[in-house]
Chains A and B, each alone.
Chain A
Amino acid sequence: MSSPGFVGVETEYGITVDGPTAVNPVVASSLVVSAYRAAGSQDVRWDHTDESPLVDAREPRHQPAPEPMIDDELGLANTVLTNGARFYVDHAHPEYATPECTNARDLVLWDRAGERILADAAQRAAASLPPGSRVLIHKNNTDGKGAAYGTHENYLVPRAIPFGKLTYRLVPFFISRLLLTGAGRIGSHLDAGVPFQLSQRADFFEVVLGLETTLKRPLMNTRDEPHADPDRYRRLHVINGDANLCEVATYLKVGTMLLVLAAIEDGAVPEPPELADPVAAFHAVSHDLTGRVALPLLSGGSITPVDLQRWYLEAVAGHLRARGGGDEVERDVLARWRAAVDVAGEDPRLLSGVADWATKLELLEQYRGRHGLAWEHDRLKMLDLQYHDVRVDRGLYHRLAARGRVERLVTDEEVAAAVTAPPADTRAWFRGEVIRRFPAQVVAAGWDAVVLDSGGDRLQRVPMMEPGRGTRADVGALLDQVNDVGELLAALTA
């Protein structure tokens, strides 16, 4: 029986300041994060104590991390929100990392909450700039001019699964899932003959395996920093995905990964068809809109991305049956996955309203049909970009959603609640609730600890090494009974 899954997604948002004064993107990102913090949230520092982003899954563990974490020292905004999320500046982008979630539906909710937080924060930041300034935020992954920025999924997996086995089992899955998870873009810097491709990020991947995330990007990232008990867990850091606006795309991206990981853990995923050149295949799948491109196999012959997805779907379906059908969200993910793969088998473009690339492509085709525009026309590039604008009144995804042209999974009311409230069933609940209830006494918080000031001689660090502990069920009653962190610490250690 597989372990419970935990997932979080970090997104670096595109940022542009438009107005009378030029603003450097690092400063602009800091303004955005600080504006949100100042107006509503609390000034809770990020706790870096247990971070070691340069530990490599392929090397012996506990090696020292030579790179110091310097963002706080540079004065870049870096904070923790009452919904358990981290909101900060990374690589000249505002970044939102969702709280830990136990299932795909919750992840959609807290990921969407991030969009609302960014939209709100950008509006507040603009008010601090000279009149006529606009701060525009895009949930995308490339500027179309050679820069890429990330949307990283994080899954907690048992350390007992060998990393090599994970890689071997997952790479063909990553390559073929672009059909469902790609956010779409006009053009390709690898192939001038590609007018539109499935993925924002595929062109930027160069190797199969590696530690880096900003150059020579690998399909399988080896960062090994679990933010949990390292003897029991590793964190699978998936960097090859796109930022999604379509809720079903986010839901399938994360939901299918959780199902595949559980099946791998239980030994229910046999050896997948091995691709002759995974990186070339990743590009080929992205550059093909039919789902039928032939991907050469190491053993000879070839397979299509639709058939690869179906291969994983059947393995997971068998595993879920053997587990008694799974829970409600897992059953729903499987049903939607099957429906999407069936549609892709017919014509992947029919995934409009479900997959971002198909939704955007349909709009681009309709718009260029009306105005008779060539693919390289700036208005089409503008449409490609503005699809990702987080503003509800201007973002084209949001205009399509308002017309019922994309499928929704959660309500606006639920998203609004997730802007301030944490998920109830992970340690994010304790993190978020402590910040909400005792803002003046929380000095810092991280994924696996909070640092409290009860007014004594020393700050107290409360470790949270188990992502499934610190839930509302665990500590809700206790938190209701205490009036400050001094009482909280006494109760926790009683």
Chain B
Amino acid sequence: MVSDAGRTQRGQDADTERDEVQDAPARDAAREVVDDVDELLDEIDEVLEENAEEFVRGYVQKGGQ
């Protein structure tokens, strides 16, 4: 499965080849989106529970309604 970020990146490259000058603002916007996703994923790496393996395996709930 291809990630959404991957798709955005590919679309951006295709645009660049087709119409380099006119698409500069669109390209900047696309780069901002990619930068934003990168920043988000950096943050996820920071806040994600450190010992994911242990935490996930230990996460057992009693059944409820």
CA gap between A92 and B65 in the complex, in Å:
10
Known interface pairs A362-B4, A403-B40, A405-B40. Does A382 touch B65 (Cβ–Cβ under 8 Å)?
A: no
Nearest residue in B to A24 (C-beta to C-beta)? Answer: B62
Nearest-CB distance from A95 to chain B (Å)?
8
Nearest-CB distance from B34 to chain A (Å)?
10
A147 touches B60 (CB 8 A): yes
Which residues in chain B, 34-54, are within 8 Å of chain A measured between CB atoms?
36-37, 40-41, 43-44, 47-49, 52-53
Q: B21 on the interface (CB 8 Å rule)?
A: no
B64 touches A369 (CB 8 A): no
Which residues in chain A, 124-161, are within 8 Å of chain B measured between CB atoms?
142-150, 152
Q: B56 on the interface (CB 8 Å rule)?
A: yes
Known interface pairs A366-B4, A366-B37, A378-B52. Does A399 touch B47 (Cβ–Cβ under 8 Å)?
A: yes
Q: B1 on the interface (CB 8 Å rule)?
A: yes
CA gap between A403 and B35 in the complex, in Å:
13
CA gap between A145 and B62 in the complex, in Å:
10
Q: A487 on the interface (CB 8 Å rule)?
A: no
Nearest-CB distance from B10 to chain A (Å)?
12
A239 touches B48 (CB 8 A): no
Nearest residue in B to A394 (C-beta to C-beta)? Answer: B47
CA gap between A386 and B48 in the complex, in Å:
7
Known interface pairs A367-B41, A403-B40. Does A25 touch B5 (Cβ–Cβ under 8 Å)?
A: no
Nearest-CB distance from B38 to chain A (Å)?
8
CA gap between A214 and B65 in the complex, in Å:
4
Chain A residues with CB under 8 Å of B64's CB are 12, 90-93, 147-150, 214
B63 touches A214 (CB 8 A): yes
Q: Give the dominant DSSP class at A's interface.
A: mixed
How big is chain B's contact interface, by range? Answer: 20 to 34
Q: A381 on the interface (CB 8 Å rule)?
A: yes
CA gap between A400 and B41 in the complex, in Å:
10
Chain B residues with CB under 8 Å of A386's CB are 47-49
CA gap between A378 and B48 in the complex, in Å:
11
A145 touches B60 (CB 8 A): yes
B62 touches A25 (CB 8 A): yes
Nearest residue in B to A141 (C-beta to C-beta)? Answer: B64
Chain A residues with CB under 8 Å of B41's CB are 366-367, 370
Known interface pairs A383-B44, A396-B44. Does A91 touch B3 (Cβ–Cβ under 8 Å)?
A: no
Known interface pairs A143-B60, A147-B60. Does A152 touch B65 (Cβ–Cβ under 8 Å)?
A: yes
B4 touches A365 (CB 8 A): yes
Residue in contact with A147 in the complex, picked from B36, B37, B53, B61, CB distance below 8 Å: B61
Known interface pairs A366-B4, A366-B41, A393-B47. Does A149 touch B52 (Cβ–Cβ under 8 Å)?
A: no
Q: List 10 A-B contacts (CB under 8 A).
A: A91-B64, A147-B62, A148-B63, A149-B61, A214-B65, A365-B3, A369-B4, A369-B5, A381-B52, A393-B47
Closest 4 CB pairs between A and B? A369-B3, A149-B64, A150-B65, A92-B62
Additional A-B contacts beyond A26-B62, A93-B62, A396-B44 (11; CB < 8 A): A25-B61, A146-B63, A147-B61, A149-B64, A239-B65, A362-B4, A368-B3, A370-B41, A379-B48, A383-B44, A386-B48
